[in-house]
Each structure stands twice: as C-alpha cells, then as structure tokens.
Amino acid sequence: MSAPKILVVDDSAAARAFVRAALVRFGLQVVEASSGPEALAILGAQPVDLVITDVVMPDMDGYELVRRIRKDPRTSAIPVLVLTSRGDVADKVAGFEAGADDYMVKPFEPVELEVRIKSLLARRGAAPAPAAAQEKLATIVAVFGCKGGVGTTTLAVNLALALRQITGEAVALIDADLSFGDVGLHLNVPPVHTINDLVQYVEELDTAMLAQAMVEHPSGIRVLLSPPRPERAEEVSARLIGRVLDLASHSFDYIVVDTQRVYDDRTLMVLDKAELVLLVLTADIGALRNASLFLTLARTLGYPADKVMPVLNGTGVDTGIREQDVKRVLGGREPFPLESGGVEVALAANQGSPIMLTNPRNKAARGIRQLAERIVAER
Ligand SMILES: Nc1ncnc2c1ncn2[C@@H]1O[C@H](COP(=O)(O)OP(=O)(O)OP(=O)(O)O)[C@@H](O)[C@H]1O
Ligand SMILES: [Mg+2]
C-alpha cells in the first residue's frame, strides 16, 4: 500500500515547506495548494487521505474550505486538521463548527503533528467510508469552441479515442451540439439511438436506459448522439443533460462532451458539471475576442482558474497574431498548442474514421494524445 497522501493548504510557501518537511520525515506523501480554490481542484482530481489547512488566506479562508469539503459527498469523509496561529477558543469553535476534525496552533512541535495525523488516519481507516466517497466518479471534459469551425468536434472525438487507447477504461462521448452535432458522422455511427430516446424519461432515467440510448463504436467508446434533426434539439432540456451526466459519471471513467456554442441553460449545465473545459480557439481576432468573453463568463460563474484550459488549434500557421498576443488575451495563460495535421485530418473525419485511428502519427493526432495523457495524469 502506498503512503497516505496529505494535502497541505497554506498561502505562505514557507509555511507549506515547513509542514511538508515534517510530513515527509513521517513517510507521508504531500501535495500542496496555495489557496482554497486550488485545494478544491486538487481534491476533485485525485484521492487525498487528509487535509491540513491554514485559516487566514485570501480568496477563501480555511473554514470555508472545510465547509466545502464537508458539503461534497466525494470529499466529505476526508479528515481535516486546521493549523493556525490563532489560538483563542472562539477560533477553535469556528473551526469545529465548519467541520474540522482537529485543530493545532502554530508554532507546533512536529512530533505533536505526527501523533494527531496518525490518529486521524487511523480513525478514518476504522470508520467505514460512505459509498459515495469510495466511488471514483468520471472525469467530465467539456470541449467548447470559441467560433464555428475551430476544431471542437475534431478535438472531442479524437480525445475520447485517445483516452480509450491510453487507459483502456470506460469512455463516453456525448454530442451536446444539439442542433448541428456531427459526432456521428465523424465516427460513422448511424443515429439508431440518440439523446432524444431519453426525453420522455427524464425523471425515471436510470443507468440501463442510458446504456440503451448510447451507441457503441468499434474502438470501445460509447457515444450518445445529438438529436437526429435540428428541430428536435429543443426537446432536450438542461435537466435531461444534467441527469445524463450524473448517471454516466457512475458508469464511466471519462466523459467527453462536444458542446454547442450557445450560452443557454443546457450548455451551462455541461460547463458546470465539467471538471475541465477545453476552450478551443484559433489565432484569429474573432476567436480571441470570444475566448476573452468566455473567460469573463467563467470567472462570473465562479469557476476556478484551472478549470478552463485554452487549446490553440492550428498553431504553426502564420496568421499575423503573435503568441504573446494570444497569451495576453487569455489573461496570461499559456494555451495548449495543437498543431495543424493538414488536410489528412478532414479527410479522415469525412470518411468516418478519425485521424487518431487512421494515422496516430499525424501531428494533430499526436498533440491530442499528449493532451489526453495530461488529463489522465491529473485525474
Ligand atoms: N488540428 C487540425 N489539423 C487539421 N485540420 C483540423 C484540425 N482541427 C480541425 N481541423 C479541420 O477543421 C474543420 C473544422 O473542424 P470541426 O468540425 O472539428 O470544427 P467545429 O469547431 O466542431 O465546427 P462546428 O462549428 O461546425 O461545430 C474540419 O474539416 C476538421 O477536419
Ligand atoms: Mg462541431
């Protein structure tokens, strides 16, 4: 069994280093977060056995972090130790009220920290964890295009295939481009079943019904196709999409969603449920403007900064827009560079056999595979 993993949350790098040094000496694994939002992102992405958090931090204080950890069924059973320089009784009470399991005042003796951590871990081991905390839910990746034709569907389809090839795990591809979805064409799967099969069963929807509405592709990925005709898009409600994603989370390891470019409640449902949003753009003025608008929206929705990963498609083609211009528009973020794979990519899609299958050595296929590897590594 590998050593327990401890998440240390403190805005001070020096304080984190001090705690880390002690924990490493006790033979524990350590991951660090410099803020509450970063801690929550880590907890959403990897299993952690115990959290040690500071109280006074900008953005989100330690008590709020504990409350959020307790509220989420996936993290509610994780022991939390609050570590702070504040020592009065009112503060301790606030910590316990928020749901902390233990409380230590700085400066502390490393040996005391060790004893407390061991007892928290032992207690956790003794108590049966709730089922929800044991089950690992799927990683949902939404692919959102800043503009028409920037390569959203190409990325979604090939990413799903790459995730399947790399992990061999259960991968779902959902076409939520409700009016003009063409995932079925890219994969050459006929729309014998689509999301519209589920429209009348929203409330009683279960895993078996969802499985029936999905189509299996020879690669092993399972696909939920968009409405067979654009006028049937309006039958699909945000609630249905939410239910589909919740159910699919229990039976898949990865869910990739090709998202439509409309900010309606159905798109927002996909974006909210996603752990990662790939924001696809090209180096042109329209896509950049829309990317900037999207990032503003993401901030308004309270998404943590690392939930959105911009993907710059077709890099290597000179559009007169420089790398640093793109980075500036993206608020300093480095986009994931996806090279153009040339006309071969479109030919493959048009024949219903994506580039990831026909020529994995194509530059675009290699780039998408690297992106998939990154997503797998961060899961
Ligand atoms: N990295 C790439 N290299 C080469 N061709 C690409 C690349 N990405 C996308 N394409 C091509 O660009 C075209 C548009 O791609 P795609 O249909 O995936 O875009 P989209 O954003 O989903 O469009 P829509 O707005 O219609 O949904 C297709 O012909 C596709 O093959
Ligand atoms: Mg598309």
Paired sense of beta strands 276-281 and 254-259, if any? unpaired
Give the highest mean pLDDT range of 87-91, 129-133, 270-274, 298-302: 270-274
Q: Which atom of ligand 1 is nearest to the CA of 340?
A: 3
Closest among 34, 7, 40, 42 to 23, alpha carbons compared: 7
Q: Looking up tokens 């929550």, which residue turns up?
A: 40
Task: Give ligand 1 pocket residues (Cβ under 6 A).
Answer: 145, 148-154, 177, 313-314, 338, 340-342, 345-346, 349, 364
**Which pLDDT score is estimated for 87?**
65
Indicate the top mutation candidate among 143, 150, 154 to test ligand 1's pocket, ranked by most ligand atoms within 8 A of CB.
154
Query: Residue 375: which pLDDT band, with cuts at 50, 70 and 90?
Result: very high
Half-sphere exposure of 128 (CA within 13 A, CB side): 3
Q: Which two tokens stand for residue 298?
A: 């993401």
Note the pLDDT tens digit of each residue in 179-207.
Answer: 999 999 999 999 999 999 999 999 899 98
Task: State the sign of the Cα–Cα–Cα–Cα dihedral 182, 188, 190, 195.
Answer: negative
The CA 144 to ligand 1 mean position distance, Å, reads 12
Note the pLDDT tens digit of each residue in 311-362.
Answer: 999 976 778 888 889 999 999 999 999 999 999 999 999 999 999 999 999 9
Residues in contact with 99: Cβ distance below 8 Å, sequence separation at least 6, in sequence order: 66, 67, 69, 70, 80
Residue 134: pLDDT over 60 = no
Q: Which atom of ligand 1 is nearest to the CA of 258?
A: 22
Q: Which two tokens stand for residue 364?
A: 């675009």
Domains and CATH numbers, the chain: 5-134 (3.40.50.2300), 139-378 (3.40.50.300)
Note the pLDDT tens digit of each residue in 17-66.
Answer: 989 988 888 888 999 999 999 999 999 988 999 999 999 899 899 999 99
Q: Cβ distance 365 to 339 under 8 Å?
A: no
Q: Which ligand is nearest to the CA of 150?
A: 1
Q: Cβ distance 345 to 362 under 8 Å?
A: yes
Kindly provide the b/e burial profile for residues 303-330, where b requires at least 16 CB atoms within 10 angstroms of the residue's own CB.
bbeebbbbbbbbbeeeeeeeeeebeebb
State percent of the chain over pLDDT 70. Answer: 96
The CA 328 to ligand 2 mean position distance, Å, reads 26
- Give mean pLDDT, residues 160-186: 97
The CA 360 to ligand 2 mean position distance, Å, reads 21
The CA 153 to ligand 2 mean position distance, Å, reads 4
Query: Residue 94: which pLDDT band, with cuts at 50, 70 and 90?
Result: confident
Indicate the top mutation candidate among 143, 312, 344, 345 to test ligand 1's pocket, ranked by most ligand atoms within 8 A of CB.
345
